[in-house]
Structure 1
Amino acid sequence: MQATPLTALLGSRYPIVQAPMGLIATADFASRVSNAGGFGLVGVGLGTAAQVEAELIKMRTLTDRPFGVNVALAFLRDPDAVRVIREYGVKFVTTSAGDPAKLTPVLKEAGITVFHVVPNLKAAQKALDAGVDGLVVEGGEGGGFKNPDLVSTMVLVPLIRDHTDRPIVAAGGICDGRGMAAALALGADGIQMGTRFVCSLEAPVHDNWKQAIVGSDDTGTVVLKPNARQAVRTMKTQRTQALAAKGEFDLADELSHAQDLYFGGNMEGGIALSGQVGGRIGDVKSIAAIIEDIVAEYDATVARFTPLAASAPNRLAS
């Protein structure tokens, strides 16, 4: 696989970024992605400054490969965590779930490269105006928190590419090499995956969740919209279907039960934030195998289209 502007910027072997999933994106997990040639992200939004410091120290003991940090702005528990990120020499930060102007200047002042996660063109333009170095363009197929007005990755990536030449990471609905080839063809410089990495041997979640993803189909998720500003895509279970029918409910209370599902394996005990791509995931394997398979399939896909591209003028003329 050839280098992209993203691999040059991140220093990773492959342009494959691990989504900073809450309670999952720890140093133990993210380091394994970086060691396998991808780019691991440690989620720090919910941690105290001391906890963030401990994770960053641990990350450096587990990998000598590049990694980054995600700060979910709306859930930032301890503003002092930003000081820790700066002091520990983190080189790459993604921000999400909030106003990109809030932290971008502070982080860039420390020499940190900043990408912001965006769900639509308006948000992308706001982030670009705030001075971000790049964007994580997340389609509505992805799991977790969503803008209620869902825009698919297929539409969103080329749309935003038409408005900027800054690096783009495509997220939402990607789990394999064909998806990565499609994302790059649409104008992205790399991909971010969450649900595919949940279905890895190293993911620190209960096997019941992994097997639920493997056993799901293309209609296996549901979007819950508790109010006009916020939505979440989650696995379809009896609990989440009941919540969808109910409409209004306390999302914070539902998320407070995440530990029971994520680590206890009670699939009706909470809500499992998963993407539509779960319907295409058929196995649980190591992070290294996931990345190796993606790269091999990407190369095969590009090779398959190369001769077609070369003959395109002749075919169009015939």
Structure 2
Amino acid sequence: MSSEPDRLTYRAAGVDIDAGAALVERIKPHVARTLRTGVMGGLGGFGALFELGGRYREPVLVSGTDGVGTKLKLAQELGRHDGIGIDLVAMCVNDVLVQGAEPLFFLDYFATGKLDVDVAERVIAGIARGCVLAGCALVGGETAEMPDMYAAGEYDLAGFCVGAVEKSALLDGKRVQVGDMLLGIASSGAHANGFSLVRRILERAGKPWDLDLGGSTLAEALLAPTTIYVKPMLQLLAELPPHAMAHITGGGLTENIIRVVPATLALDIDASAWPLPPLFAWLAETGQLSDAELWRTFNCGIGFVVLVAAEQVAASSAWLTRAGLAHWSIGSVVPARAGQPRVHIARR
């Protein structure tokens, strides 16, 4: 038989179940602030329950999953964990929103080598804040403590969102036509895309975190949480429905808007129609990025795009102004031409 000193425990192997239980207790108040109609039960079950009820005649469920990429590396290096959870929610709910869906509920996955309850609570509090901003419920998640999988102080995140839309109101791009105009809505920064390139540029520049970028430091500009567009866009859909919408994520301006445009159509975008924010100007100059690389990697100050009929531009623009959303008319839908790129971006 093994002697007493030879006995192993899960805690000795690197997993602290008590720390996990303490985290659940800490996050309960944060989760409670996200509750909405339809949520059944609370934390602790094997599966989260949500009741659609009678709100929809022909509901279509729209789901999305995402992470925040290597923006996490900067948050961990700088010890700024409060906004990264908002990023996680935003990257999922903004995607679901594109098809006209209202985000209903959200789940998160938090993985680390050794659970730091204080850090995890700050991250999950941010997730809850993001859910409040999006109007969806944080119905559950998973905290995984996996020794030897991550270096000390590291963690990873993934998010999962489910939304719903009336089948007749589903945005699938079929309404887009030649002459439609693109209204680009301002981003809050780089959001959560392109950070592998950002980190290489930072290394080249010596990580000047306190560099002034016109009202914020470089660190603040890079870690600004992703804008959540859900509530104003759902209201716009109810009052002045656009023909399509696009979330500017990985692939930047070059690859995202075209995803909601039929194959027979193309986009003509005027990159001088809006001011390039100082963060992107600094990245472009310091990284010696070509325009093509800049537009394909980053949102360049445009986080969300609505495609509207030409006769609706004035009304839609006025509505966005009343909603407090900075925006610009950035281009139009044109016929696709054989042998030509379907997205043309240039400064004019």
TM-score normalised according to structure 1 size: 0.26
Bigger radius of gyration among the two: 2
**More contact order relative to length (CA 8 Å, sep ≥ 6):** 2
Return the structure number with greater strand share.
Answer: 2
